Structure 1
Amino acid sequence: MMRFLPALLLLCACAQFPELDSTQTPGVDSMPYPRLVPVDTLLTGDTPEATPEMRDGVLGRVSALQSRADGLRAPVVDAATQAQMARGVADPQ
Structure 2
Amino acid sequence: MMPASPTLILCLALAGPVALVAACTKPPDLDDSVSPALKHADYPDLVPIEQLLGPAPETPDADAETAAALERRLSGLQARATRLQASTGIDQATRERLGEPPVTD
- TM-score relative to the length of structure 1: 0.36
- TM-score relative to the length of structure 2: 0.32
Larger Rg: 2
